[in-house]
Amino acid sequence: MPREFRYKRRVEFYETDQAGIVHFSWFYRYMEEAEHAMWREAGMSIASTEFHVGWPRVAASFEFFKPLRFEDEFEVRLRIEEISDKTIRYSCELMKDDAKLAAGTMKTACVTRAPGVPMKSTAIPADIAARLSVFKKED
């Protein structure tokens, strides 16, 4: 069982649509906020200049089960399903109380990041993989 990272949040008014529920695009932002918080928990920043790498998203999806509304408190439960040589695949669930509101996945690629140089996939630095491994699904 992977170690689950939990990130709590409250819905802000500007995140809702005309029907008074959270617009679907915000679920992706919530997942990304939790990812960044997970990296901080592991003692790093996803935007660190130390490693000269970036993390573009190569795939993302969500299934929606129940709505979120203004001022609802909820939790994003994020796990790393797989760390390969060059990618990280996350899964998440958004929960309110004991109800699953949505489930999603996101895959990021590790790429070189330098001014004036085109992005190119590269191996995930060993230190990053090691620090994130505490959130990785056990094989």
Active-site residue set: 17
- Here the tokens at position 107 are 């895959």
User: Helix, strand, or coil here: 15?
Assistant: helix
- Name the token pair of 123: 């191996």
The DSSP bridge partners found for residue 92 are 78, 104
> Taken in order 111, 89, 61, 29, is the CA torsion positive or negative?
negative
